[in-house]
Structure 1
């Protein structure tokens, strides 16, 4: 399980990545933690074992996404069983934490499934991801996450971007009362990170720090090999976020 939230300390910088180049960019840019995913273009899915091993070997703490498919977060029994098995694999590979989320319906968390995944994560940190942004009351859901034994919540405050949801994020931080770390993500950049930190009191900043990488061959998307232009992690953007947080 992770250390308690670091109130009064500089917020951590977490960068979400989905490839080997991203691991190198995070190290070079000076981020504190990796959120490791597969298929960030789909919101992040469970990454491959080889990519997890490479990220862990970087020495930067890794929180690995465990999401068995794209789409919503209402999982059937096979999905839940697969994700539970994947959590065990991630723990065995040496991750510092896992990132999960499940809904009972369109407006509430599936606390039974989330409790099962907390047990599967054993002694590593566990993060409730932005599924919390779909619930009717994200602030009230903070207490549910605490009761389940979760260590972190990643949120945009129920809005499309963390900047737009900043007031709700601040209320979530207040509700957490230092018992769970609140991470703000979605649309966070060097331009708004310091103001977001000052406005909300968050424990960590989460960003992709990426730039668009256009395809040289238009058939890539036409043939269904991608949903759109790929993005790659930028060392400069990671470093810019690091500097913005240091200046806050």
Structure 2
């Protein structure tokens, strides 16, 4: 297994970003790891090669999202082939890991696809993302991810937010038994991070730490150039979550 660096004794803080300003904010505020995506407004897609190179150059460990399209996580052969190629390419670009997920149907992980992607990511860490929150039994799915050789699982415990799913996340941590890292994500903020860590025992948390931008020009939305207002990664919010972790 290829585990990304963590700070001994203190839960790691991972921030998801989708632009160069977000990378700079993580560096400025002292985030431990970047989950790098394209189009966070669509739930996160595979980032561009230039953005990956920029993030890697920051010196902060980078986990790059590999998601070939928006929508659900039931992929056809073309989607799988494209994502597999992306994983192999990213593994040569200096990322610490990749973030993936695939469903066989509405309630089961696609273990065959996930195994193929684990093989493609040889030499770097691989994360099962919140597709696990769609399965019928997220706790049992931790055992499946472990058996496949995954290194991390990002989860909200099957709930809308990690705090709402805290009891299930705690069970997932127990099921992992240190064989992989459980990362709590969704709705994580400075106000709840200490409680979340105390209730779950996770060794990493995941947040966007973002604020909504005021664009001013409504034509951007009206002409279909965006699905909604952009959110900007906030140095102050990252720092506040960091302080909240220290209070846990």
Instruction: Give the TM-score normalised by structure 1.
Output: 0.98
Q: Which SS does the other structure have where 2:91 is aligned?
A: helix
> 1:139 matched to which residue of 2?
139
1:26/1:5 Cα in 2 relative to 1: closer, same or farther (>3 Å)? closer
- Pairs within 5 Å for 1:3-22: 3=3, 9-22=9-22
> 1:83 matched to which residue of 2?
83
Q: Do the aligned residues in 1 keep the contact of 2:103 with 2:110 (CA within 8 Å)?
A: yes
Consecutive unaligned residues of structure 2, counting only runs of 5 or more, are: none
> 1:237 matched to which residue of 2?
237
Q: Do the aligned residues in 2 keep the contact of 1:5 with 1:178 (CA within 8 Å)?
A: no
Consecutive unaligned residues of structure 1, counting only runs of 5 or more, are: none
Pairwise CA RMSD: 1.4
Shift of 1:2: 2.6
Q: Do the aligned residues in 2 keep the contact of 1:16 with 1:207 (CA within 8 Å)?
A: yes
- Pairs within 5 Å for 1:178-217: 178-217=178-217
> 1:154 matched to which residue of 2?
154
> 2:51 matched to which residue of 1?
51
Shift of 1:3: 3.1
Instruction: Give the paired residue count.
Output: 248
Shift of 1:162: 0.3
| Divergent runs of 4+, >4 A | 4-8
> 1:95 matched to which residue of 2?
95
Q: Which SS does the other structure have where 1:132 is aligned?
A: helix
> 1:33 matched to which residue of 2?
33
Matches of 1:92 and 1:6, distance apart in 2: 22
Q: Which SS does the other structure have where 1:106 is aligned?
A: coil
Instruction: Report which stretch shifted further, 2-11 or 101-110.
Output: 2-11
Shift of 1:9: 1.7
